[in-house]
Amino acid sequence: MPTIAELDIGDDPAAWKRLGFAVDGDRTTVGATTIMLDGGGGGLRSWRLMDATTTAFDGLDTDTSDGGATVPGEHPNGAVRIDHVVVNTPDLARTFAALRAAGLDLRRVREHSETLHQGFFRLGEVILEVVGPPEPAGGGPARFWGLVAVVPDVDALVAGAEPGLFGAPRDAVQQGRRIVTVARAAGLSVPLAFLTP
């Protein structure tokens, strides 16, 4: 089964340090996932996968990795892993088929609303959440959107952070968990949220 080794994000490393990540040069490792931060903008642009037999992921910029074991960082914000990576698609059925052909198993589909459905795949410790309309709405490729990191306590995270970096913590869709999103003032080019275990 493919697993996520690295994510390439166009953010300034200093912005991630302000959010409490331990950053070494242009990278930080959260759980088993290394995040490369190049400051070039453009959000989450690409990923490198271990144990992938193809790079055909319905338009997602994909490369393979033979990477060895990574050493998770110890982060001041308490982040222990990436919970999920979010991908948008105009054609759920097409993207689901491409991901299945690449060796991923569709675990479940959730009907979020009449106009938005979500499919969930597992890539090692990270969940891939694919979001799109129930019926095809165009011919463009799937695109990376954002990600969510796991921390022990989102309320404590916000209380200890610089003012204005986060929205208000709230109950998550997942029962018993809480979530908080990073505010635009934090200067990220990728949507990022923090979620309790």
pLDDT at 175: 93
pLDDT at 37: 98
What is the C-alpha separation between 190 and 187, in angstroms, rounded? 9
pLDDT at 138: 85
Q: How many domains does the chain have?
A: 1
Helices (H), the chain: 13-18, 92-101, 154-159
What is the C-alpha separation between 110 and 100, in angstroms, rounded? 17
Average pLDDT of the chain, as a whole number = 95
Domain that holds residue 30: 3-195
178, 151 contact by CB (below 8 A): no
Which of these, 160, 154, 132, 182, lies nearest to 15 by C-alpha position? 182
pLDDT at 69: 62
What would the pLDDT profile of 79-102 be if each residue is shown by its tens digit?
999 999 999 999 999 999 999 999
Model pTM score: 0.95
What is the C-alpha separation between 87 and 22, in angstroms, rounded? 26
What would the pLDDT profile of 113-146 be if each residue is shown by its tens digit?
999 999 999 999 999 999 999 999 988 999 999 9
The CATH number linked to 61 is: 3.10.180.10
